[in-house]
Amino acid sequence: MALALTLDAEKKRVRFGGPLACGSAETLTVTPAATGTVRLLDAAGVELGSCAVADGSGTFAVTDRLMLDAFAGMAPTYSLPLTVQFLDADGYLLGRGRCWVLNRAAGEAAPDAAGGALAPSAGEAIPAGAPVLISAGLARICTAGNASGFVGIAVAGADLGAACRIEVPGRRVTVPGWGLTPGAAYYLPQSGGALTASLTGVNIVRMVGIATDASTLLLIDSLTVQSGASGTASYLVWDPSARRIVALSAAAAGGGAAAGKIAALDASGVFDKSLLPSLTGEAVAAVRGLFADMAVLDNPTDAELLAAVNQLIERLKG
């Protein structure tokens, strides 16, 4: 679907030639031709979607998670009025206006965060049951290395350029003859387009769903975890660019760089003792200094022993 956006830079206004459809990819043409970014904002000023425009053209993929969330649980006929901003390459406002986003386009399934179908064009041949991401408005196979872009599972096979119907997390997807193992968890593949139930040799893990029968997968929205090098003490940290938890190699003695990090278990499943700083150097010297002037008691009386214990307590308390 192609949409026209008319820009009146003198009056700082823009006008859309029609509504957008949630979950779709729209070709956008700007008149007069301009370069910048089109943003869609809700009543609170939260950005629900954006589109880069170069020389008057761009592709608007109405698939941002916040956009899908805005339609969660809504009827197929629900529509959402949004504020449109057109910013130039330096971020200055060229114009603003209003735009309606529909819960579905004519003849399409209603997309919403609770599990509606998306139907962007396929950027490559995609088999049924393959994990999918959307890049530049096109559906492509998603592997574990691109887990941050995962949006759902292809309901049916799609050739290059054909509509690819995608079910999103929170829904069940059924592919006849899929060959799943009931009760097994399935993960993004390291390569190729087939989900995997094995974690052998895997260092980036993103669970996609759990098989309820041989042909049906219950899709689950989960975190992505990247393991560290085998046999190396690691800390777990959040990688905001890849949107996943990553195990990073840690310095054996800890230190300031480790502050606020979560220590990971080692290959045998126990806490790696190398992450605990050893009592050497200044730490040991400080402890010895507390008791340097205390004499060793030889056959002390009860009163002497009690006095020594009280002295120890007082020094430990500082």
pLDDT at 308 over 50: yes
- Considering the entire predicted model, what is its pTM? 0.48
E strands within 103-183?
Answer: 117-118, 121-122, 131-135, 138-141, 150-154, 166-167, 172-174
pLDDT tens-digit profile of 35-91? 999 988 888 888 888 889 999 898 877 766 667 777 765 666 677 888 999 999 888
What would the mean pLDDT of 224-253 be, rounded to a whole number? 68
pLDDT of residue 72: 65
Of 130-139, 146-155, 252-261, the range with the lowest mean pLDDT is: 252-261
Least confident stretch, 118-127, 201-210, 265-274, 283-292: 265-274
**Half-sphere exposure of 298 toward its Cβ, with a 13 Å CA cutoff?**
0
State the pLDDT at residue 109: 44
**Residue 231: pLDDT band with limits 50, 70, 90:** low
Q: Where are the domains of the chain?
A: 2-102, 117-221, 227-275, 282-317
Average pLDDT over residues 204-226: 89
Instruction: Provide the CATH topology of domain 117-221.
Output: Virus Head Decoration Protein; Chain: A, (2.40.300)
Contacts of 93 (CB under 8 A, 6+ apart): 12, 85, 86, 87
* Helix, coil or strand: residue 130: coil
| Strand positions, DSSP E, 75-203 | 79-88, 93-102, 117-118, 121-122, 131-135, 138-141, 150-154, 166-167, 172-174, 185-187
Greatest mean pLDDT among 177-191, 223-237, 267-281, 303-317: 177-191
Token pair, residue 112, equals 């919403």
Torsion of CA 48, 52, 56, 58, to 10 degrees: -80
* Whether residue 302 has pLDDT greater than 60: yes
Q: What is the pLDDT confidence band of residue 105, given thresholds at 50, 70 and 90?
A: very low
Residue 265 is given by DSSP the state: B
Specify the CATH architecture of the domain 2-102: Sandwich (2.60)
- Cα gap 11→194, rounded to integer Å: 52
Residue 4 gets the label, from left (phi > 0), alpha (psi -120 to 50) or beta, of beta
Cβ contact 65:99 at 8 Å = no
pLDDT at 100: 83
Band (pLDDT 50/70/90 cuts) for residue 285 is confident
